[in-house]
Amino acid sequence: MSVPDYMQCAEDHQTVLVVVQPVGIVPEDQFFKIYKRIASVSQVSIRDSQRLLYIRYRHHYLPENNEWGDFQTHRKVVGLIAVTTCGSSKEWPQTSERFHGQKEVYGSTLYDSRLLVFGLQGEIAEQQRTDVAFYLNFDECPDVEKRVEDFVESIFIVLESKRLDRATDKSGDKIPLLCVPFEKKDFVGLDTDSRHYKKRCQGRMRKHVGDLCLQAGMLQDALVHYHMAVELLRGVNDFLWLGAALEGLCSASVIFHYPGGTAGKTAGRKPNISQPADAGKRHRPGAQEVLIDPGALTSNGISADTSTEIGRAKNCLSPEDIIEKYKEAISYYGKYKNAGVIELEACVKAVRVLAIQKRAMEASEFLQNAVYINLGQLSEEEKIQRYSILSELYDLIGFHRKSAFFKRVAAMQCVAPTIPEPGWRACYKLLLETLPGYSLSLDPKDFNKGTHRGWAAVQMRLLHELVYASRRMGNPGLSVRHLSFLLQTMLDFLSDQEKKEVTQSLENYTSKCPGGMEVITLPDGLKLPPVPFTKLPIVRSVKLLNLPVSLRPHKVKGLLGQNMSTASPFIYSPIIMHNRGEERCKKIDFQWVQGDVCEVQLMVYNPMPYELRVENMGLLTSGVEFESLPAALSLPAESGLYPVTLVGVPRTAGNITVNGYHTSVFGVTSDCLLESLPGVKTGGCLVEVIPSLPRLQLSTSLPRSAHTPQPMSKEELSSTVSVQLFNGETQQLTITLENIGTEDIETLELTSKTVTTKEKVFGEFLSWELEEALSHLPLKPGQSVTLTVNIKVKLDFSGQENLLQDLNDDGISVTGLPISSPLRQVLKPRAETKPVSSESGKAEYNHIKTLEAVLNFKYSGGAGKVEGYYRDLSLGVHVDVEPSVFFTRVSTLPATRRGGEREAMRLRRYR
- Confidence at 801, pLDDT banded by 50, 70, 90: very low
Contact call for residues 326 and 363 (beta carbons, < 8 A): no
**Residue 482's closest CA among 448, 523, 522?**
522
Lowest mean per-residue pLDDT among 69-78, 327-336, 639-648, 894-903: 894-903
Contact call for residues 871 and 552 (beta carbons, < 8 A): yes
Output 173 or 745, whichever has higher pLDDT: 745
User: Which helix (H) or strand (E) element contains residue 208?
Assistant: helix 195-215
pLDDT value, residue 316: 92
Q: Locate the domains of the chain by residue range.
A: 10-168, 195-377, 538-556+585-690, 696-797+845-894
Amino acid making up residue 846: N
Q: How far lies 405's CA from each of 437, 469, 664, 686, in Å?
A: 8, 17, 36, 49
For 230-239, how does the pLDDT look when each residue is reduced to its tens digit (9 = 90+)?
A: 999 999 999 9
User: Which helix (H) or strand (E) element contains residue 749?
Assistant: strand 747-754
pLDDT value, residue 435: 93
**Separation CA 287–CA 697 (nearest Å):** 81
**Residue 668's closest CA among 505, 523, 492, 540?**
505
pLDDT value, residue 578: 42
Mean pLDDT is highest, among 161-170, 195-204, 295-304, 811-820, for: 195-204
pLDDT at 568 over 70: no
**Residue 231's closest CA among 198, 203, 251?**
203
Amino acid making up residue 315: N
Question: How would you class 186 by CB atoms within 10 Å of its CB: exposed for 0-12, middle for 13-18, buried for 19 or more?
Answer: exposed
Cα-only R_g, the chain? 50
Q: Is 205 left (phi over 0), alpha (psi -120 to 50) or beta?
A: alpha
- Confidence at 349, pLDDT banded by 50, 70, 90: very high
Q: What is the mean predicted confidence (pLDDT) over 413-430?
A: 91
User: Which helix (H) or strand (E) element contains residue 432?
Assistant: helix 424-433
Q: What SS3 state is found at 301?
A: coil
Q: What SS3 state is found at 114?
A: strand
pLDDT value, residue 312: 57
**Separation CA 177–CA 199 (nearest Å):** 10
Bridge partners of 599, per DSSP, are: 647
The domains spanning 10-168 and 195-377 adopt the same CATH topology? no
User: What secondary structure letter does DSSP report for 461?
Assistant: H
pLDDT value, residue 800: 56
The three-point CA angle 73-74-76 to 5° equals 65
Class at the top of the CATH hierarchy for domain 538-556+585-690: mainly beta
pLDDT value, residue 213: 95
**Whole-number average pLDDT of the chain:** 82
pLDDT value, residue 414: 93
Fold assignment, 696-797+845-894: Immunoglobulin-like (2.60.40)
User: What secondary structure letter does DSSP report for 761?
Assistant: B
For 185-194, how does the pLDDT look when each residue is reduced to its tens digit (9 = 90+)?
A: 776 667 677 8
**Separation CA 135–CA 116 (nearest Å):** 8
The dihedral sign for the CA sequence 895, 896, 901, 907: negative
Q: What is the mean predicted confidence (pLDDT) over 132-150?
A: 91
Mean pLDDT is highest, among 43-47, 92-96, 306-310, for: 92-96
- Confidence at 594, pLDDT banded by 50, 70, 90: very high
H helices of 19-143, in order, are 28-39, 63-66, 92-105, 123-126
Phi and psi angles of residue 759, each rounded to the nearest 5 degrees, phi first: -95, 145
CB environment 350-366: b (16+ within 10 A), e (fewer)? bbbbbbbbebeebbbeb
HSE value, Cβ hemisphere, 13 Å, CA-based, for 561: 3
pLDDT at 666 over 50: yes
For 17-48, how does the pLDDT look when each residue is reduced to its tens digit (9 = 90+)?
A: 999 999 988 999 999 999 999 999 988 988 87
| pTM to 2 decimal places | 0.74
**Separation CA 538–CA 491 (nearest Å):** 11
Q: What is the mean predicted confidence (pLDDT) over 889-905?
A: 46
pLDDT at 356 over 90: yes
The dihedral sign for the CA sequence 123, 128, 133, 138: positive
DSSP string covering 786-800, please? EEEEEEE--B--TT-
Phi and psi angles of residue 737, each rounded to the nearest 5 degrees, phi first: -110, 120
Contact call for residues 593 and 612 (beta carbons, < 8 A): no
Fold assignment, 195-377: 1.25.40
**CATH level 2 (architecture), domain 10-168:** 3-Layer(aba) Sandwich (3.40)
Helix axes 360-371, 380-396, angle to 10 degrees: 170
**Separation CA 619–CA 606 (nearest Å):** 19
Bridge partners of 722, per DSSP, are: 878
Contact call for residues 336 and 238 (beta carbons, < 8 A): no
pLDDT at 689 over 60: yes
Q: What is the mean predicted confidence (pLDDT) over 239-262?
A: 93
Beta strands at 747-754 and 642-650: parallel, antiparallel or unpaired? unpaired
